[in-house]
Amino acid sequence: MKTAIYPGSFDPITKGHVNIIERAAAVFDRVIVCVMVNANKCPMFSTRQRVEMIQMATDHLPNVTVDSSEGLLSTYAQQTQPCVIIKGIRSGNDFEAEYQMYWINHGLEGHVDTVFFPCEPGLMHVSSSVVKELGRYGAELSDYLPKSILPVFEQRIADIREGGNRK
């Protein structure tokens, strides 16, 4: 069975992420979307909330499951062998960073390979950071977020504005 792991912060999942997941789900037998810790980011949503939003946004894809881990990606991948890691690439900057991560993950445990999916041109401007920034100002987000998570995202960002409900 060909398994792909799609790791990320997903804070929150965007239309760009869903596009990568849909394309990976068409290529691999099984795709595991894994919410992981990015030491350089402080997430707005709890891990549980991020997992729930991914589940809602990928409900139409029967070979996609959602998981979370606080460990190293290479360890997680090692425990899921045989598998590949997948990453979406929006720009040259993304490629530089992900190529470096590829060598780190490849060299750590088990020599897991990475497959890069180029972003659809129409989604290059879509990122979780932009969504959070726009969301804080109550902007229209239907071009950025999967339809299925729009109401829950708006409710959660309103909760956060009113004093933080990150459970």
* Catalytically annotated residues: 17, 41, 90, 128
Asked if residues 38 and 64 have their Cβ atoms less than 8 Å apart, the reply is no
**Cβ-count burial 65-104 (b if 16+ within 10 Å, e if not):** ebebbeeebbebbbebeebbbbbbbbeeebeeebeeebee
Q: Between residue 92 and residue 111, which ones bind ligand PNS under the rule CB under 6 A?
A: 104
Q: Between residue 51 and residue 90, which ones bind ligand PNS under the rule CB under 6 A?
A: 72-74
Q: How far is the CB of 60 from ligand PNS (least distance, A)?
A: 22
Nearer to ligand PNS, 125 or 161 (CB): 125
Q: How far is the CB of 101 from ligand PNS (least distance, A)?
A: 6
Size of the site for ligand PNS (CB under 6 A): 11
Nearer to ligand PNS, 39 or 62 (CB): 39
Tokens of 24: 């990976």
134 binds ligand PNS (CB under 6 A): no
113 binds ligand PNS (CB under 6 A): no
Strand ranges for the chain from DSSP E: 3-8, 30-35, 64-68, 83-89, 114-118
Asked if residues 90 and 124 have their Cβ atoms less than 8 Å apart, the reply is yes
Site residues, ligand PNS (CB under 6 A): 7-9, 36-38, 41, 72-74, 104
